Amino acid sequence: MTRALALGGTLFLLAVGLLLAAPTALLAAVVPLAYLLATELSAVPRTDLRVSRAVEPSNPAPGERATVTVSVTNEGDSPVADLRFVDPVPEPLTVVDGSPRGAVTLRPESTATISYEFIAKRGRYEYDPVDIRVRSSLGDDEETLQVTAAGATELVCRGVTAPPESDVTQLRVGTLGTDDSGNGLEFRSVREYQHGDPVNRIDWRQYAKTGELATVEYREERSLRVLLLLDCRPPTRQVPEPGYPTGTETVAYAGRLLYDALTDAGHTVGAAALGLPESVLTAESRDGISWADETTPRDSTAVFEQAEAASDHTGSARRLTDTHQKRLLARIEPNTHVILCSPLADEWPVEFASRLNAHGHQTTVITPEHASRATTGGTVAALERETRIQTLRRAGIETVNWSRDQPLRASLDQSLQQVVGR
């Protein structure tokens, strides 16, 4: 006997009992009616569920918070009394706010939404289908489903996709104004004419007034040379809190961002990674330092890739001895603006930045916040880092602090003009 026939027979007995006022017929109808009702409540409803996922920002930077929103819509005709679902968070990402789980009741054509935040780590991660469990109204039966979400099916934690929108892109391409006179675009002075001066630099207006020749001098422009130094030593390869990227990873990201911004502005930019582990060093590396500039055959991209690879290593590195540091200083050409990217995990970057400054190199320190105040030890480390920042600034070294609560682009947009133009 099908459920439809059973329901029809039960309703017939119920109607007869009501019309004839026959208790026996009513009693005969109540028992199967209760059975059918219990069967209906204990059965898992037919489901037609649609799941969507959105990630904002869609391409977060390492250390940046990203928000995931998951929506489940009941497109069927039956209500779902007990719907539970879990969005599988890819390893090794860590949820820091909200929850990837939901438990709701869904009427037909209604939608339930959850959201959670995680800290982005460099890499590409695939999302598995959303796990869904539908239970009957009585809770004694259930069905497990896996539904592929529409929208974001993978997560890409990028390196760099675009330079920051700062004044660095408005600087004159590949040049730096000096106090020396010569060829250029900016007026500097007028001097007495000398034989052989170009005709287009003669001050014809003065000649018309006085009958004397004079030559216009312009501010001489020289190519701006920048070297990015990435601090990848073992003290930088720690995470401030679970789920956050290492200091080395944030340093590599900052370096890539700066490199793209400066090269897009037309400046000559080199890159070097210091304190790399032996496992990532190549034949071109010397003294534990990976170096690339216009004098080397390889591209600076290799330096950033080695720095990113170093973030996954906790082993020791070749120690930067005083001899190694002297060789490094000797290798940096005069009139080079050095930008040191370091989380300032110890005193070494402060001391080395001071040495760079003493050797006549304009020096800037970009420092991503690395210490956490969640523990007593983290609070002490954060205070020590703040002291190092103040020490650098008192020494006249431009220092850009990248707070974990602020995207690096915003930090650089505030200070990049001083980095290359002061």
Residue 170: inside a domain = no
pLDDT of res. 406: 65
For residue 402, which of 166, 63, 121, 169 has the smallest C-alpha distance? 63
Distances (CA, A) of 341 to 5, 256, 397: 78, 11, 13
Q: Indicate whether 181 and 130 sit together in one domain.
A: no
With 0-12 CB in 10 A as exposed, 13-18 as middle and 19+ as buried, what is 32? middle
For 175, half-sphere exposure in the C-beta direction (CA atoms, 13 angstrom radius) is 13
Residue 346 has pLDDT above 80, yes or no: yes
Average pLDDT over residues 95-118: 91
Mark 269-292 as b/e (b = at least 16 C-beta within 10 Å): bbbbbbbbbeebbeeebebbbbbb
Mean pLDDT (the chain) is 76
Nearest one of 295, 270, 267, 279 to 232, comparing CA atoms:
279
- Phi/psi of residue 358, each to 5°? -70, -25
Task: Say what the pLDDT of residue 182 is.
Answer: 45
Answer yes or no: are the C-beta atoms of 345 and 250 closer than 8 Å: no
pLDDT score, position 242: 75
In total, how many domains does the chain have? Answer: 4
Does 260 reside within a domain?
yes
Measured distance CA(276)–CA(283) in Å, rounded: 13
**8-state DSSP, 277:** B
Highest mean pLDDT among 34-48, 61-75, 177-191: 61-75
Phi first, then psi: give them for residue 268, nearest 5 degrees: -85, 115
CA distances from 198 to 113, 128, 332, 336 (A): 73, 70, 36, 31
Residue % of the chain over a pLDDT of 90: 22
The residue with greater pLDDT, 371 or 276, is: 276
In a domain, 298, yes or no: yes
Is the same domain home to 216 and 242? no
Mean pLDDT of 291-302: 78
Of 105, 122, 157, the residue that ends a domain is: 157
More confident residue, 127 or 311: 127
Which helix (DSSP H) or strand (DSSP E) does residue 60 occupy? none
pLDDT > 70: percent of the chain? 69
Residue carrying the six token digits 């990113």: 308
On whether residue 162 sits in a domain, the answer given is: no
Q: What pLDDT does residue 343 have?
A: 92
Same domain, 140 and 55: yes
The rounded distance, in Å, linking the Cα atoms of 238 and 329 is: 27
Count of other CB atoms within 10 angstroms of residue 405: 7
The answer on 193 and 236 residing in a single domain is no
**Range of 25's domain?**
3-42
Helix and strand tally (H, E) in the chain?
9, 19
Lowest-confidence region among 20-24, 91-95, 376-380, 409-413: 20-24
Q: Is 90 a residue whose pLDDT tops 50?
A: yes
The residue written with tokens 């200083």 in the block is 329
Tell whether 171 is covered by a domain: no
Separation of CA 183 from chain center: 43
Q: Give the pLDDT confidence score for residue 185 in this predicted structure.
A: 43
Cα dihedral 396, 402, 405, 406 sign: positive
Q: Which residue has the higher pLDDT, 281 or 55?
A: 55
DSSP 129: P
Helix or strand run (H / E) with residue 155:
strand 154-157
Please indicate, yes or no, if residue 277 is contained in any of the structural domains. Answer: yes
Who's near 92: CB < 8 A, 6+ residues apart?
121, 243
Are residues 261 and 400 both part of a single domain?
yes
Structure confidence at residue 352 (pLDDT) = 95
Q: Is residue 238 part of a domain?
A: yes
Are residue 202 and residue 232 in the same domain, yes or no? no
Residues 243 and 352 in one domain: yes
CATH of the domain at 341: 3.40.50.410
In the numeric block, which tokens belong to residue 223?
A: 């190519």
The predicted structure's pLDDT at residue 131: 93
Query: Do 312 and 182 fall into the same domain?
Result: no
23 and 61: one domain? no
Tell whether 196 and 247 lie within a shared domain: no
- Statement to judge: residues 380 and 232 lie in one domain: yes
Residues 318 and 340 grouped into a single domain: yes
Q: Is there a domain that residue 164 lies in?
A: no
Q: Which residues are CB-neighbours of 333 under 8 A, at least 6 positions away?
A: 225
Query: Which residue in the block uniquely carries the two structure tokens 């898992």?
Result: 44
80-87: average pLDDT:
89
One-letter amino acid identity for 117?
E
| 56: CATH | 2.60.40.10
The radius of gyration computed from the CA coordinates of the chain, to the nearest angstrom, equals 34
pLDDT at position 162 is: 43
